[in-house]
Structure formats: structure tokens, C-alpha cells
Structure 1
Amino acid sequence: MRRGHLLTTPPYEVETALKRLGADLRTARLRRNITLVEIAERIGASREVIGEAERGKPSTSVAIYAALLWSYGMVERLGGLADPTTDAEGLRLASLRERRHARAPQALDDDF
């Protein structure tokens, strides 16, 4: 998939996840009684960019999402997104590649 295509027509699951994240960030901002202008100034972005993030616009930088999470005291959640210890599919695939039997040790050859 070309980059431009991902930004204009992302897969449905990606679009839905971004919109949910944006809505959740908007809820966090409103619960803290922070305006768009205040949060934009706090993280060094424009009000428009914050609005785009809250709408889940695919071209919004992940740094904006991370900065918003940080400013709301929620950035620790970001670190667990791709935690390999909770990746059920990755763990399953890794277990399929693990050895089932040990190899017998080979005698060392000291003939130089």
C-alpha cells in the first residue's frame, strides 16, 4: 500500500482505531477542562492539528498523539501498545519455531 493511499483511505480497522483514539483524547481534554488553544500551546502545536488528532485524521503525527497522552498524564499507556509479552499471535508463531528436541553434542575435532 502506498503511503498516500494509507493517509487518504486507510483500512477500516485503522480508521476506526484512530477515530476512537481521537475521541478518547478529546474526552480526556474536556474532563480536564482544557481548551484546544491551551493544549496546543502546552505541546507546541496548532489548534487545528489538535482538532485533527481528536477527529482521528490519519496524517496526524504519532508525536502529536504521544504529546497529548503525555499532557494528560497517560503516556505510560503508549509503551504497552506493542508489548511483545502480550502479543498472542507473535508468541504463537515463536513457539512454532522453537526446537522440539535437543541436538546431541558433536565431538570436538582438535586436528588443526
Structure 2
Amino acid sequence: MSIKGYHREKFAAAVSNLVGLGDIRVRVEHAFVSLVTVNPKQMVGETAEKYQSLYAKVTSRQEEFQGEGTIRSTLRHMTDEDVSDVAEEILEIHNQLLREFSAA
């Protein structure tokens, strides 16, 4: 599998985690667990920039409790609207990866 195929697979898994019942913060956190092995340095162009920016946004706070992690800590401090925007950005990156695949 190519690295682009790997990224598409990981973002598809992340999008799957966004769908369904439950708290949006938990769903977004699970989406990022699916993306933990995605190295933005292996991505190219605008997609890489978007993912690097998104990852920085979602890991911007230090953990406040032992074992909490930066993602959970950051999401806990975001508004519902901000967390929803993160979910939309994951979907946008996923869709962009699909468009790039179709164009190739």
C-alpha cells in the first residue's frame, strides 16, 4: 500500500469514529486515536499543512491530570462549536485525500 493509500485509510477510520451517538468530544478524540500513526511530514502540499495545523490545534494544551493526554485536555477546554469545527476539518482532509486519489 502506498503512503497516500495509508493516509486515506487512516482518515476513513477517523471519519467513521465521528459518526454515531455520544459526546462529540469523545468521538473526535477517538478519531485522533485513528490518526496517531499519520506523520504529516509524509503528506504533501495543502493536505499536510491542514493536518499539521489541525493537530497543533487539538494538542495545544498540556494534560492537567495524569494520563489525560493533550488531546483530551485540549478538547475538554474547547466549546462545542470548536470541537464540531475540528470534526469538519477531519472530514475535509479526508475528502481532499479522496479527490487527490481520484485525480491521480
Higher RCO, 1 vs 2 (CA within 8 Å, ≥6 residues apart): 2
Same-fold status (TM-score > 0.5): no
Of Structure 1 and Structure 2, which has the larger fraction of its residues in helix? Answer: 2
Higher-Rg structure is 1
